[in-house]
Amino acid sequence: MKIARVQIGLTQQRLAELIGVTRQTISLIEKGKYNPSLKLCLDICYALDKTLDDLFWVGKEE
């Protein structure tokens, strides 16, 4: 997610404003310390023009 955000040239603050959350929340999601709701995930995907797969998919741990 961080890579996608930097590619578009958005700061955490700007992305947070676009979605309507705080910068801290974006930071925690990028660090993997906060588990966002599906709605918030979708909002992030729309803002970054990516799919859920691109940003959040993690292979199942065996």
- List residues near another protein by CB under 8 A: 20-22, 24-25, 28, 34, 36-37, 39-40
Residue closer to another protein (CB basis): 12 or 25: 25
CB of 11 to another protein, least distance (A): 17
CB of 48 to another protein, least distance (A): 18
> How many angstroms separate the CA atoms of 33 and 46, rounded?
22
Given phi > 0 = left and psi -120 to 50 = alpha, else beta, which region is 53?
alpha
Residue closer to another protein (CB basis): 7 or 34: 34
Given phi > 0 = left and psi -120 to 50 = alpha, else beta, which region is 20?
left
